[in-house]
Structure 1
Amino acid sequence: MATGLRIGWALVNKQSVVSSAMIVALGSLAAVAALNWPPLTLLIDSALHWSNISIGLSQMALIGCAAGSCVMITSVASTRSPAAVRRMAAAQYAVAAVIGVASLVLFFLSGQQPEMSPEEYLRRNLGSANTSLPWLLPLLYVMLACTLVLWAGMRHSNRTRRGRALFVFTIGIALLVAATAFFLIRAVGTSRLVGVGTAATLLGAAMAIVAAGSLLPAIEDWFGGRRELRLIDPLLTELERRQPEVGIGERPRGPLVFRVAERLSLISDALYMEATMAEHLRAGGPDGATVDVLADVERTGVSPDAQAMAIAKWIHAGRRTPRVALPAGQGRFPGMSWLGQPESYSDREWILEIARQYRALEQSTPTVAL
């Protein structure tokens, strides 16, 4: 599911190094899970005429997961140019490809064994003198790469939506590092410390948590988008009534995140048009009509909440007054400079804050029928 979501996101949006790396990482984990499903394991072994070949392919898939995760985290943390990031990613993929091919060659050189389940194969071969070398190379790479991902992931985790997803993803990587360490202990011959079942359980838990971390942004985006649509609906409805031309060319359907962004853009455009009309009527409109407009009141020291409330009150004051000619707000327009967001707010956050204040006014003021 996580892999399919990432592939779909990459097809809808512009492809990037980070999205490609996430697809590689999740797809490799999905391949590990599929290759260790007994019916598919037996089918692949029979089709390729090499018993237990799915184990060798699983090694390559784990290497691919480590490489994709490493490319993803280094690309996110890098401050270099996009061209440099792509070259760095290509170099990491090249190293992983060399290690993967070498691991597969060592697997074939170790010879064939009787067909058995993946767990039984690991129990019999990890730690034996003649099969430890094919495991040391891929396990060392996976452990080192995932350790780098773990360090960088913990460093860049934060309280934002993406930061929380990265934290969950990093927890999965931590379990993957632990499972790899357990397999590595078995490979070097210290089998009394941990069993294959424990390491396999950790690996399964790691795969599930990594997938959850990858799905978390999409889940939060969906719920957050629905909540934001409800929040901005009253303000957008009022502004579209005043400025009906602002909705021309609006796309009513599409990905939720795009719909929210489009509606926020419509609100921003409509607010600017309303403010421009209010400025035009400051000195007097047609037939000598005037509008109660404040002349760019100084907003130094005004909190962002109060600034957003002033804009919301200006829009809210004229919502029940029919206007035939010019759709300027009927309240006290504080001035064009008040529309600009405070330094601590992005454009998106500022429109949402105005919509939040307007919704609060709508809920606290009873509707008067005309």
Structure 2
Amino acid sequence: MIVWVIAGLLGLATGLRIGWALVNKQSLVSTAMILALGSLGVVAALNWEPLTLLIDTMLRWPNISMGLSQVALIACAAGSAVMITTVASSRTPATAKKLAFIQYGVAAVIAAVSLGIFLAAEQQPEMSPEEYLRRNLSGGGNMLPWLLPLLYVLVALSLVAAAGLRHSNRTRRGRALFVFTIGIVLIVLALAFFLLRAVGTSGLVGVGAAATLLGCAMLIVAAGSLLPSLEDWVGARRELRTIAPLLEELGRRHPDVGIGVRPRGPLVFRVAERMSLISDALFLEATAADGALRPVDSAGAEVMDLDDLVERAELEAPDVAPSEQARAVAAWIWDGREKFPGLAWLRQPARYSDREWILEIARQYRELSTGFSAGD
């Protein structure tokens, strides 16, 4: 049951990466993540004894699932290495792609040699994965098929762990990379125990303890891979609640702004689409309010052109805190177009992006209209 929980979480993480790659442009990083997570999920699934027995029976080769586990582990290491080296590299995309193909090529050769050695070795009676490891990863067992893949995976994942720890930070993606890297570190430790046992140092740790550590490492890797999607979903839900009152009011005033097909992609895309509607409606509101304050000629045309408006807005930029500036804009919308503060007040502060500025205005408007703060 625990094995299938691990495999299921890794499968879910793989599916999310595949979905993200289908929605966005395919990249080396997304492909490498899909390969790494999918391969690790295969390793977990192949250690479920009923599936192990089924595959061995179907392929008519005792313990062949262990050989396939080696190949899947090599693929996981190759995908992880390509992912982290591509993220950490400052090289051009063409060069990064060539390096990725080289890494995949090396991994494919090692996987083919490892599987060939496994098939060439003497067949053994059918046994569980744990029993197979206990018998073969010892001085008197058939450890030759395991040395090459274990050494490659240890070297590749050690590089991944070092680079992952170096590039971890407090951002949303940085936290996920840190959790993912912790899982990789535990995988390296578990495989190091297996390698020590294979070369004859069997007293340090048992196969069962190393297998348990490997299972925990897989859970942590899955958690690190799912963390960005979970945080994106929770954050998007919170932002939707924040912008809902302002969006409803501006949508009532400017129903034509919302005409069109709503996106059906990830929740973060829908949040971005609704923020763009708010931005358009705020522009229409500000244009109408500013036009009412400016003189017109005999034909009713506005005297000032757009360049004049931009210049005036820059000269009259408010010298207040961003929250106070957003509060003034929100109060203007809440009061029903009365007391227009001026175009300059709608320009976001220097340290705010367009998205952050709209979210701040929506947060202030929600407090005015509902009496609840954005965090409630």
Q: Tell me whether the two structures share a fold, i.e. TM-score over 0.5.
A: yes
Distance 1:343 1:67, change over 3 A: farther
Partner of 2:330: 312
Name stretches of at least 5 consecutive residues in structure 1 with no aligned partner. 319-328, 366-370
Partner of 1:274: 285
Matches of 1:343 and 1:143, distance apart in 2? 47
Question: Is residue 133–residue 207 contact of structure 2 (8 Å, CA) maintained in 1?
Answer: yes
Partner of 2:352: 345
Partner of 2:369: 362
TM-score, normalization by structure 2: 0.87
What percentage of residue pairs aligned between the two structures are identical? 68
Question: Is residue 6–residue 23 contact of structure 1 (8 Å, CA) maintained in 2?
Answer: yes
Question: Is residue 310–residue 334 contact of structure 1 (8 Å, CA) maintained in 2?
Answer: no
Partner of 2:164: 153
Name stretches of at least 5 consecutive residues in structure 2 with no aligned partner. 1-11, 303-308
1:51 Cα offset (Å): 1.0
Matches of 1:74 and 1:340, distance apart in 2? 40
Q: Residues 101-133 of structure 1: CA distance to partner in whole angstroms, max 9, x if unpaired?
A: 111112123221111111111101112356333
Matches of 1:273 and 1:82, distance apart in 2? 41
Question: Is residue 135–residue 141 contact of structure 2 (8 Å, CA) maintained in 1?
Answer: no
Q: Which amino acid aligns with 2:323?
A: D
Higher deviation after alignment, 351-360 or 246-255: 246-255
Question: Is residue 289–residue 340 contact of structure 2 (8 Å, CA) maintained in 1?
Answer: no
| Runs of 4+ more than 4 Å apart | 285-288
Q: Residues 249-293 of structure 1: CA distance to partner in whole angstroms, max 9, x if unpaired?
A: 1417443122111001111111122222233223146999x9xx9
Q: Residues 129-165 of structure 1: CA distance to partner in whole angstroms, max 9, x if unpaired?
A: 5633321211111111111111222222222222222
Matches of 1:262 and 1:14, distance apart in 2? 19
Partner of 1:330: 338
Q: Which amino acid aligns with 2:333?
A: I
1:218 and 2:218 equivalent? Answer: no
Matches of 2:124 and 2:263, distance apart in 1? 60
Matches of 2:214 and 2:235, distance apart in 1? 31
Pairs within 5 Å for 1:106-145: 106-129=117-140, 131-145=142-156
Matches of 2:216 and 2:69, distance apart in 1? 17
Q: Residues 307-341 of structure 1: CA distance to partner in whole angstroms, max 9, x if unpaired?
A: 222222222221xxxxxxxxxx3222332x43333
Higher deviation after alignment, 172-181 or 126-135: 126-135
- Among 282, 302, 307, which residue is 2:320 paired with? 302
The SS at the match of 1:309 is helix
Matches of 1:286 and 1:56, distance apart in 2? 84
Pairs within 5 Å for 1:181-330: 181-251=192-262, 253-284=264-295, 296=313, 298-299=316-317, 301-318=319-336, 329-330=337-338
Matches of 1:230 and 1:17, distance apart in 2? 35
